Amino acid sequence: MRRHSTRGAVIAVGAALFVGLGATGASAHVTIAADKATQGDYAALVFRVPNERDNAATVKIDVQLPPDRPLASVHVKPHPGWSYEIKKTKPATSVEADGAKVTEVVSEIIWTADDPKAGIRPDEYDEFAVSAGPLPKADSMTFKTLQYYSNGEVVRWIQEPQANAAEPERPAPVLKLLPPSKRGAGQPAGRPVQDSGARTTPETDDTVAYWALGLSVAAMVVALASAAMAIRVSRR
């Protein structure tokens, strides 16, 4: 009887640890956030990039703008210790700014660390910002992203979320867009959003992470209590 009770306690503790690791690990991926991303307006977009490796630094970030929802104006904020490259292409759909058609739009932004020491080291994250607009009349925008490590590894954050399905293993950053403002478009086309210097924090992702951590701790507490009870019963 004691052997079976002890084994059950060990299994319970192991299950709790597994749940905890799974919940916290799922939240560590590349995300995008904006203070107010409204259809038809301009917004400061911030890409948050965490380093998920303990033996390499992130030295390159390749963000691909959605080709089906092109942006007429994109301005990149300089990032200390990093250089960037902008790639352009002809828009798949008609794009206008100030009543004039735009013949080229930004399709890709590539940030590269000037020196390996400037890369994102283990247990760290960094943020890369752009000003873009006018934002399309759509519910969301998906920015597929490639993350390059100093050891040659490439992590492809390109999987798009599916309705009524669990989050994919390598989800692409998704920006949710608010309905158009009743006051009309925000800033004139071609004018970048003024950056106050404050970092935009993806509150939704952080909230999910905090809840996941809390649930993990609760699960471990319950498992440990069950294990103690099982051992006490076996001793009786």
Of 40-49, 74-83, 154-163, minimum mean pLDDT range = 154-163
Same domain, 80 and 23: no
Structural domain boundaries, residue 227: 1-28+205-236
What per-residue confidence (pLDDT) applies to 24?
38
Rounded to 5°, the CA angle 159-72-41 comes to 85
Q: Are residues 22 and 42 in the same domain?
A: no
Domain match, 220 and 129 both: no
pLDDT score for 140: 95
pTM assigned to the model: 0.68
127 and 158 inside one domain: yes
Residue 12 has pLDDT above 50, yes or no: no
Residues 18 and 127 in one domain: no
Same domain, 20 and 63: no
194 & 232 share domain: no
Question: pLDDT digit string (tens) for 122-171?
Answer: 999 999 999 999 999 999 999 999 999 999 999 999 999 887 778 889 99
Domain identity same for 209 and 195: no
Q: Do 120 and 190 reside in the same domain of the chain?
A: yes
Position 202 confidence tier, pLDDT thresholds 50, 70, 90: very low
213-222 exposure pattern, b = at least 16 Cβ within 10 A, e = fewer: eeebeebbee
The verdict on 23 and 49 lying in the same domain is no
Q: Which whole number is the average pLDDT over 194-220?
A: 49
Residue 94 confidence class, pLDDT cut points 50, 70, 90: confident
For the chain, give the mean pLDDT. 78
pLDDT band at 229 (very low <50, low <70, confident <90, very high): low
Domain match, 95 and 147 both: yes
The total domain count for the chain is 2
Could you give the CA distance from residue 78 to residue 45 in angstroms, rounded to a whole number? 13
CATH code of 131's domain = 2.60.40.2230
Give yes or no for a contact between 168 and 30, defined as CB atoms under 8 angstroms apart.
Answer: no
**100-109, 135-144, 210-219: lowest mean pLDDT where?**
210-219
Greater pLDDT, 106 or 211:
106
CA distances from 82 to 34, 116, 146, 192 (A): 22, 10, 16, 21
Q: Say what the pLDDT of residue 193 is.
A: 54
